[in-house]
Structure 1
Amino acid sequence: MQLRYGMNPHQGPASVEPIGAAPFTVVRGRPSYLNLLDAIGAWQLVREASAGSGLVAAASFKHVSPAGAALAGAVDPVTAGLFGVAPRADAATRAYVRARDSDPKSSYGDLVAVSAPVTTGLADLLRRVVSDGIVAPGYEPGAVAVLSAKKNGTYLILEAEATFEPPDEEVRELYGLRFVQRRDDAPLPDGLSADLRLALTTVRYTQSNSVVLVRDGATLGVGAGQQSRVDCIRLAGTKARLWHQRRFVPPDDLSGIGSIQQRVNAQLRLAEAIDPPVPLQRVSLASDGALPFEDNITEAARFGVRHIAEPGGSTRSDAVAAAAHQHGITVTRTGLRLFRH
């Protein structure tokens, strides 16, 4: 398949070829190189999250990392009002609006993935937000027609092959070298809480170094691509804190504002000045690599983290565990590093 261009517009021509059966069918539009990279990561995330929870999952992807991911849970009044959806919307719509609400500024122009067929309700929401494309295992009658009118008919619509299983080995060629490795299909440990499982699943498909904060089946903050682990926590925590502050913006302050993105921008400006009456609480954290120092725990505690999943194995793991105990934080050592580059 010929792509619109490669990683950048000047890197053309570009193409992609399936190895055996193709994982996606192009229903509408012409993908770029980055579109497909986002679709691959986003689809794997929602497929794994749905299988692990039994619920519909959704993700909002930008630049090969999730801006947000969520399961189909309750939609709070703030989110419902911001995006103009009913609190009792269908599961696919609820999952996606919760995922996009995690970091709606970063989700601008996202690649969407949902683990269930796209409903007309979700298609109508996507019609009203800035998004570049979607991947899903199917589309209910009428949904493709709604999406096909988006972006002057260029909105990318991919249908995932739900039964597709990728090869056991991954091959990448860069700068005259061919890299071969086993695909990252290691199962997550048993006995994890639902939030830690979603956090670990999300961090697995996030560019390293990365940390993900989750509460009630939805990400509150994703800290991706930082060289310092504590900076990952600080970035994810800052996003989570802003998510919390946005809960206290009066709905009347957004009344009369036209588009969803205009309401998002106004809400963010107002939220930054709010000191919430209660702090952020009950947050779960997953790290793709070991937490190397106690300052990671101190930083996590600032953002209401009470449960952590990390690989363990650091030379200072005992000191990190002692710091967690002092802050009332439980630590699960998975023995599973989840770097992604």
Structure 2
Amino acid sequence: MRLRQGMNPHQGVGPVVPVEPGRWPVRVLNGEPSLINLLDALNAWQLVSEAAAVAGRPAAASFKHLSPAGAALAGALDPGTAALYGAGGAPGPVTGAYLRARDADPKSSYGDLAAVSHEVDEELAELLQGLVCDGIVAPGYAPGAVARLARKKGGRFLVLAADPGYRPPPTETREVFGLRLTQQRDAAPVGPELLDPVTGERPGPAGLADVLLGLTVLRYTQSNSVCYLRDGVTLGIGAGQQSRVDCTRLAGAKTDTWWLRRHPAVRAMAFRPGVRRQERVNWRVRCVEGDLTPDEQDRLAAVLTGPVPVLTAADRTAWLAGLDGVTFASDGALPFRDNVDHAHRHGVARIVEPGGSIRSGEVADACREHGITLLHTGLRLFHH
């Protein structure tokens, strides 16, 4: 396999070779991947294949820079997602899973690498043609789907086929600054048997699906990481922060943005003909962030057919109060109760984390105060 470039365009690359001669986890069907493309694809494929196996339904992810911008299981589209992507009727489960994953954080998903756990059909191939997306990895493609996708980006759209039967070696190795590092691959199973309720009761089927999806997502997200989930969709992912509470706050802000984009005044924004989908996404996000500059106010007014919506502090507070039933997952132990206090502000009903910090008792007390179910797994899921 040939790479188009290294991590940066000025870095040369050598050929990609399989660890076990002749056994390829992925094959290139179209395009030429960069190093980041390939790393995204390998992480994304592992995420969606594991999530689908645990949930028993299709899964999808939208990957950017080695972490998911969004991930989701197949399920019904909410009206906001359906309207944004013109998904009339009910799309198939694989297309629906990807739409839910991409709409989790559509600003970050711009130029993503898509991953789905099941075959790409004509419906999904047609959808991808109209999105700013750099490539896709999937276990297979329906007749005609690869040819359709190969026409995207002037023939440069990356199409990768994953081998669903591939099992990696038990150890993995990387070289950093002249040192070769080897460790056991993280193959610890993620399942209901991990969950030890500390406060509250074990979740029902819907809550359990969110818990297990959250743990699977975190396994392939750059640490420190946390995520908020609801109805089989990640609402906000905080990745790669040195402070866990910064992850919690970052992902919480993304969760609020996801919910505020569904406010009637925001959904009612009417754009002039010719305004592209991504521009509509970005303007809705800027509106709900609530800090439009005077120049942005003028530019937004120029692309709308009606007035610029204004959400007052009272409007925001009232709407955000309607977000509930959210699951919060953390890849490492919560070191302080501040994570719980912040998570509570975003409709969190349950928290799943490894447990075992010196202040786990304080974290549990905070959950009791807020009426939050706390589940310990005893399993840390750092990923770097």
Which of the five TM-score ranges fits, normalised by the shorter chain?
over 0.9
CA contact (8 A) 1:4 1:14 kept: no
Aligned residue identity for 1:229? R
1:174 and 2:176 correspond: yes
Once the two structures are superposed, residues 259-299 of structure 1 have per-residue CA deviations (whole angstroms, 9 ceiling, x without a partner) of 22122123223333433443221110110000000111101
CA distance, structure 2, for counterparts of residue 71 and residue 296 of structure 1? 26
CA contact (8 A) 1:134 1:157 kept: yes
Once the two structures are superposed, residues 80-107 of structure 1 have per-residue CA deviations (whole angstroms, 9 ceiling, x without a partner) of 1111223400111100000000000000
Q: Secondary structure at the match of 1:40?
A: helix
Counterpart position of 2:129: 127
User: How well do the aligned residues superpose, as a CA RMSD in angstroms?
Assistant: 1.3
Aligned residue among 145, 150, 153 for 1:151: 153
Larger radius of gyration: 2
CA distance, structure 2, for counterparts of residue 131 and residue 270 of structure 1? 24
Q: CA deviation at 1:227?
A: 0.4
Once the two structures are superposed, residues 186-243 of structure 1 have per-residue CA deviations (whole angstroms, 9 ceiling, x without a partner) of 0124256110100111011000000011000000000000000000000000000000
Q: CA deviation at 1:321?
A: 0.3
Unmatched runs of 5 consecutive residues or more in structure 2: 196-207, 291-310
TM-score calculated relative to the size of structure 1: 0.97
Q: Secondary structure at the match of 2:270?
A: helix
CA contact (8 A) 1:111 1:134 kept: yes
Q: CA deviation at 1:257?
A: 5.1
Once the two structures are superposed, residues 149-172 of structure 1 have per-residue CA deviations (whole angstroms, 9 ceiling, x without a partner) of 111100000001111111111111
CA distance, structure 2, for counterparts of residue 167 and residue 214 of structure 1? 32
Q: CA deviation at 1:64?
A: 0.3
Identity over aligned pairs, percent? 57
CA distance, structure 2, for counterparts of residue 87 and residue 79 of structure 1? 12
Counterpart position of 2:225: 210
1:232 and 2:247 correspond: yes
Q: CA deviation at 1:173?
A: 1.0
CA contact (8 A) 1:313 1:335 kept: yes
Q: CA deviation at 1:254?
A: 4.2
Counterpart position of 1:72: 74
| Mapping of residues 239-250 of structure 1, within 5 Å | 239-248=254-263, 249-250=266-267
Counterpart position of 1:88: 90
Q: Secondary structure at the match of 2:77?
A: coil
Aligned residue identity for 1:93? T
Counterpart position of 2:162: 160
Q: Secondary structure at the match of 2:192?
A: coil
1:140 and 2:150 correspond: no
CA distance, structure 1, for counterparts of residue 34 and residue 267 of structure 2? 40
Counterpart position of 2:62: 60
CA contact (8 A) 2:192 2:212 kept: no
Unmatched runs of 5 consecutive residues or more in structure 1: none
CA distance, structure 1, for counterparts of residue 268 and residue 120 of structure 2? 29
Q: Secondary structure at the match of 1:89?
A: coil
Counterpart position of 1:335: 378
CA contact (8 A) 2:211 2:329 kept: yes
Q: CA deviation at 1:14?
A: 3.2
User: Structure 2 vs 1, CA of residues 212 and 257 (structure 1 numbering), >3 Å: closer, same or farther?
Assistant: farther
User: Structure 2 vs 1, CA of residues 291 and 125 (structure 1 numbering), >3 Å: closer, same or farther?
Assistant: same
Counterpart position of 2:199: none
CA distance, structure 1, for counterparts of residue 44 and residue 33 of structure 2? 15
Aligned residue identity for 1:6? G
User: Structure 2 vs 1, CA of residues 67 and 310 (structure 1 numbering), >3 Å: closer, same or farther?
Assistant: same
Q: Secondary structure at the match of 1:312?
A: coil
CA contact (8 A) 2:225 2:238 kept: yes
Q: What is the aligned length?
A: 341
Deviates most, 134-143 or 185-194: 185-194
CA distance, structure 1, for counterparts of residue 268 and residue 123 of structure 2? 22
CA distance, structure 2, for counterparts of residue 13 and residue 233 of structure 1? 37
1:116 and 2:133 correspond: no
User: Structure 2 vs 1, CA of residues 257 and 216 (structure 1 numbering), >3 Å: closer, same or farther?
Assistant: farther
Aligned residue among 357, 365, 373 for 1:314: 357
Q: CA deviation at 1:145?
A: 1.9
Q: Secondary structure at the match of 2:57?
A: coil
Counterpart position of 2:280: 263
CA distance, structure 2, for counterparts of residue 61 and residue 164 of structure 1? 21
CA contact (8 A) 1:99 1:219 kept: yes
Counterpart position of 1:299: 342
CA contact (8 A) 1:308 1:332 kept: yes
CA distance, structure 2, for counterparts of residue 217 and residue 86 of structure 1? 21
Q: Secondary structure at the match of 1:213?
A: strand
CA contact (8 A) 1:14 1:33 kept: no
TM-score calculated relative to the size of structure 2: 0.86
CA contact (8 A) 1:105 1:264 kept: yes
Once the two structures are superposed, residues 106-131 of structure 1 have per-residue CA deviations (whole angstroms, 9 ceiling, x without a partner) of 00110110001111111111111111
CA contact (8 A) 2:31 2:158 kept: yes
Counterpart position of 1:281: 324
Counterpart position of 1:7: 7
User: Structure 2 vs 1, CA of residues 257 and 327 (structure 1 numbering), >3 Å: closer, same or farther?
Assistant: farther
Aligned residue identity for 1:242? T
Q: CA deviation at 1:252?
A: 5.1
CA contact (8 A) 1:246 1:268 kept: yes
CA distance, structure 2, for counterparts of residue 272 and residue 253 of structure 1? 18
CA distance, structure 2, for counterparts of residue 196 and residue 321 of structure 1? 18
